[in-house]
Structure formats: C-alpha cells, structure tokens
Structure 1
Amino acid sequence: MRRIEKKIDSLILQEGLSYQKGDGKRIAEVLKNEQNCICAYTEEFLGRADKADVEHFDPTLKQTDSDGYQNWFLVKAQWNTEKGRTARWLKHQPLLHPTSADFEARILYEKGSYILADNSDIEARNLRRYLKLDDEGMIQQRVDYIDRIREDIALSGLSNQAFIDWRLSKPLYRSTIYYIRAIEEELNVKVNFDLLANK
C-alpha cells in the first residue's frame, strides 16, 4: 500500500457528491478514475468484472455529516468485507490514516512485505493489522508479480522505466500495471499515470 493522495480539485468536491444523497455510484466512478483503477488497500487492478466498494475508512462516520471525500476509498469488495465493521475498527485504534503525509516513512516496503519503520509506532502497527497489509498470501503475490515484471523487462530489452512507460501507454497492457509501490521501490522507477491521460 502507498499513501493515498486526495485531490483538492476532485470532482467529488466540485459536484458536491454525498453518500447520504444517494451519489454512491458516481462517487465510485470518480474514485476509480482518481485511483487509476487501483484498489486503495491491496493495490491490485480493478477490472470491469471486479466488484469494488466505496470504503468508508472510519465506519463510525458513515451516514453522518462528518463523512466525506477524505474518508472514501475505492477498494476490492473482498478487502472491504474482511476489514470488518465498527467493532473491528474500535479494536484497532489508534490508526494511521491512509492519506497521512508520512505514511510511506512509517510503513516501509521491503521485498513484498510492509514493515514498520519504528516498532513502537502504534498507529502504523494497528493500520498494518487492520487492513491486513501483512497477509502472507498478498506478500507472495507481490513477490511473484515483481519477478514476472523483471522477466518481462529482461525479454523486452528496455530499461525499467522505458518498459513501465511503454506498458502504461498501451491500453492492451494497462491492466498489467498494479502493485505500484512495489514497482516503484523495487525497480527504481516512477509509475507515470499521466501517460494514460489521452488513451
């Protein structure tokens, strides 16, 4: 997982979208575009056949006036289900927020795993446990994914950056670019979603 950056000019804000007013479908559509079809928590690609949910990070805010854009993330439905409801939220307090500016300095990425920069950082520890960032199956999937990308790069003859840029620029391969933090940190590249702007 990487820090989620919220846009100050988001269409959600511009259009005054609200869950309470029944704008859930439009909110999901905007979040999917803003997140570049990437699940906020697992960083897996959200394809047309994937069930995705607008996730209320703090479930206690749902259906209140305090709920809003900073609390909404588009995630795979299974991860939303496993995250649980209010009782599980309360059990894992306090939590590091996914938009925290120091997110990636407090939860580090290392060879498929998310580790704590400081073992005494309770907020980061609780978030890692709450969102199941330490799930063994997901760790192995990230490792396997990076191995496949490395093999593809070697076969292509391109540099790491040129290969990632090329894949992003081709609609046929767009769905093969996910686990963004793993790609950027392990391959020392920048995943430039701006390349998708005119595709």
Structure 2
Amino acid sequence: MKKIKKDYNNSKIITDILQYNCKKGANNSVLGSILLKEQKSFCAYSEEFIDPISDANDIEHFNPDLKCSDDDSYSNWFKVKNKVNFRKRQKELEFKKNNISFDDILQPCENDFEEKLKYIVGQYRFEESSEVKVKNLIDFLELNIPEKIEQRRNFIIRKRKEIEIFGVSPEDFFSTLIEDDITQISYLRAIQEEFKIDIWNMIPEIE
C-alpha cells in the first residue's frame, strides 16, 4: 500500500469547500468523482484499478467515528472498492470490541507512511521497535492475509515474465501497459519496490 497523497492546496474539495453530505439518500457523486480522480482511479487500500462504471465503489471514511462530525474532513475520505469497504467494516467491529482506538492506527496520509510500512516480497513489514500503529494498520486492512500476499507475488511474477518475453525495460513495459490497458495494473507499491520505478508518476492525471 502506498501513501495516499492529498493535495491540500489545490484539491477542488478544498477550494470549493465540499463536504460529505450525511443525509439519507444524499448525492455525494461530485465528492466521490474528485477523490477517484486524485487517486488516478486506484482503490486507496487494495491498489486495484476502479472502473467507475463496472466496479461498485464507495467514499470511505478511514476513521468511521469521525463520519458526519465536525472533525470529519478531506484527510479522512478515500475512494475504495465496495468489497474492500465491506471487509473493513467487519474489522472496525473487531477493533472496537478489542478497544483499539483509531488514534492507534497508522493513517494513510502520514508523511513517513512508506518508511514505517515496509514492503518485502509481497508482504508488509514493520520494524520491531516501530509504533504499534503500523501493526494495527496491517491487521485493520488485512494487508497480510495469505491470499493477498499470494496475489501480489503472482502479479509480480507474471509481470517479470512478460517483461522478459518482450525484452524491454520495466519503465517501457509499464508505460505501454498504462497506455494500452491500465486495468491490468494493480499493487502500485509492489511495482514501485520490485521494479524500482516511480509507477505513480508514470500514470497520467485524469482530466
């Protein structure tokens, strides 16, 4: 999982003073569209591509305790796939039962997010001396459940084989994939670490 970048100076959510409308049946599509655009159409948590037409997706409040409160804000809002949001809600209940506060979970926008949350061959790790917040994030978003580790590893293995077959550099391979079929790209952090490329900045901004 990559750090989620929030443009506090230029985001239309900030400049237009947009708020999440909590009324039942309210239309938050404008807010959701901007979030999806800023995330370049990738789910904030799973790093899978979101097709806005075929993929059910939600505006997600990382800390649900803030939802519809005066403290809820842009930094707490993310676009995620519906299936990811559903599983997170189950973990929220578990964390509350165990009295784990959201203040004890690493936030997706923290400046040193990627220094604290390490990626090593499909898994997310943390230093033993690190804050418990990192461990809680891994558990909260189920980043290291076996099927997710296997999916990341298999994705990287496939891409290595394809790069070898085509005989091109990782940069050229992913540039072509972005241009031809960006839906075939997932796991941005894994790509970044495994191929040593800045995949995020290779993906163009959405108009």
| Common fold by TM > 0.5 | yes
The count of aligned residue pairs is 197
Q: Which of 22, 25, 50 is 2:29 aligned to?
A: 25
In structure 2, do the counterparts of structure 1 residues 51 and 58 end up closer, same or farther at CA, with 3 Å as the change threshold?
same
Structure 1 match to 2:73: 68
Structure 1: runs of 5+ lacking an equivalent: none
Aligned partners of 1:192, 1:87: CA distance in 2, in Å?
33
Q: Do the aligned partners of 2:37 and 2:205 also contact (CA within 8 Å) in 1?
A: no
Structure 2: runs of 5+ lacking an equivalent: none
The amino acid that maps onto 1:40 is A
Aligned partners of 1:178, 1:89: CA distance in 2, in Å?
28
- The TM-score normalised by the length of structure 2 is 0.87
1:141 paired to 2:142: no
Structure 2 match to 1:121: 131
Aligned partners of 1:126, 1:66: CA distance in 2, in Å?
22
The amino acid that maps onto 1:165 is S
Tell me by how many angstroms 1:126 deviates: 0.7
Tell me by how many angstroms 1:192 deviates: 4.5
What secondary structure does 2:156 align onto? helix
The amino acid that maps onto 1:177 is I
Aligned partners of 1:77, 1:113: CA distance in 2, in Å?
23
Aligned partners of 2:181, 2:74: CA distance in 1, in Å?
30
Q: Do the aligned partners of 2:40 and 2:203 also contact (CA within 8 Å) in 1?
A: no
The amino acid that maps onto 2:7 is K
CA offsets 1:65-115 (integer angstroms, 9 cap, x no match): 211110001111111111117544544331111111111111110111111
Q: RCO higher in 1 or 2 (8 Å CA, sep ≥ 6)?
A: 2
Q: Identity percentage over the alignment?
A: 32
Q: Which of 7, 21, 44 is 1:40 aligned to?
A: 44
Tell me by how many angstroms 1:117 deviates: 2.4
Tell me by how many angstroms 1:197 deviates: 4.1
- The TM-score normalised by the length of structure 1 is 0.90
Q: Which of 42, 56, 59 is 1:54 aligned to?
A: 59
What secondary structure does 1:196 align onto? coil
The amino acid that maps onto 2:69 is T
